[in-house]
Amino acid sequence: MAAGQTQTATTVLRVDHPSLWSVDEPVLYSMETDVLTDGATVDSTTVPFGIRFFDFDPDNGFSLNGQHMKLQGVDLHATQGPLGAAIHTGSIIRQLQLMKSYGANAVRTAHNPPAPELVAAAEQLYRFRCGNDRFRGLSFDTISGWL
């Protein structure tokens, strides 16, 4: 492929009998992708993901993996209090742990893209992350990471 060109490759991932991500057990898988040129790796990335299913029903509310669940969330913006807008992973983890101790199981982020550190910590600490993802070309709130 010549410089400046784009090529798309598609693959199907099948996980037989997956362990489902849940608030009680946030099982995350990792997908590694390598780009090879003449047999040599020229680019590589690893993406964590959870496998789960959900439903919003007007009569029964929210369910995760077939189990009814009440979302109890907090609204967090891009700052870490007196630390300002700089990203401190330890501070994000502490903030999410505090929210969990208050009974929260969901986090809504601000209108700007959240820090990747916040997204990773939220998935690892048993949280749903809701965000207004207009920057991705969407004009509605989404729940990230659903497969």
- For residue 110, give the CATH number of its domain: 3.20.20.80
Q: Is 4 inside a domain boundary?
A: no
In which order are the strands placed within the sheet that holds 141-143? 73-75, 106-108, 128-132, 141-143
Per residue in 87-138, pLDDT (tens digit) is 888 988 888 888 888 888 888 877 677 788 888 888 777 666 666 544 444 3
Name the residue range of residue 132's domain: 29-143
Picking from 21-25, 76-80, 124-128, 129-133, which range would have the lowest pLDDT averaged per residue? 129-133
pTM of the predicted model as reported, rounded to 2 decimal places: 0.66
H-type alpha helices, 4-147? 89-101, 116-124
Total tally of structural domains belonging to the chain = 1
